[in-house]
Amino acid sequence: DAGVIQSPRHEVTEMGQEVTLRCKPISGHNSLFWYRQTMMRGLELLIYFNNNVPIDDSGMPEDRFSAKMPNASFSTLKIQPSEPRDSAVYFCASSSRGANYGYTFGSGTRLTVV
């Protein structure tokens, strides 16, 4: 199993540009989570999906952020327009049986907005 696959690994963009982060969860996992990690705020949940349906997006900081999961094997997190304060590492994680069996995290996307 290749694990959770995220792309790109690194993204540098200019303020105001659109950024799209991608995630392929582990096959058979029915829950997908997007987290953001910064030194100041730690790991914050942005949004999560169960069976491709968004369940809670209350962690999405602003309307500039949107996420989709069109099918069980793909999800995107989009920021439009991007701002320097969006600079962080964005992790996607998937799970099949909840927290007790653990979440599997992707390698993350390090986003830098200049």
Partner 1 sequence: GQSLEQPSEVTAVEGAIVQINCTYQTSGFYGLSWYQQHDGGAPTFLSYNALDGLEETGRFSSFLSRSDSYGYLLLQELQMKDSASYFCAVTANSGNTPLVFGKGTRLSVIA
Residues that bind partner 1 (CB under 8 A): 31, 33, 35, 42-43, 45, 48, 56, 91, 93, 98-108
**Residue number, 17 or 50, with CB nearest to partner 1:** 50
Nearer to partner 1, 65 or 91 (CB): 91
CA distance 109 to 74: 15
Between the alpha carbon of residue 17 and those of residues 47, 82, 84, the distances in Å are 22, 6, 11
- Between the CA of residue 14 and those of 35, 38, 63, 74, 111, what are the distances in Å? 22, 19, 19, 26, 11
Q: Which is nearer to partner 1, 48 or 65 (CB)?
A: 48
| Closest CB 67 distance from partner 1, rounded Å | 14
- In whole angstroms, how close is the CB of 10 to partner 1 at the nearest point? 11
* Smallest distance from partner 1 to CB 28, Å: 17
Tokens of 21: 């982060």
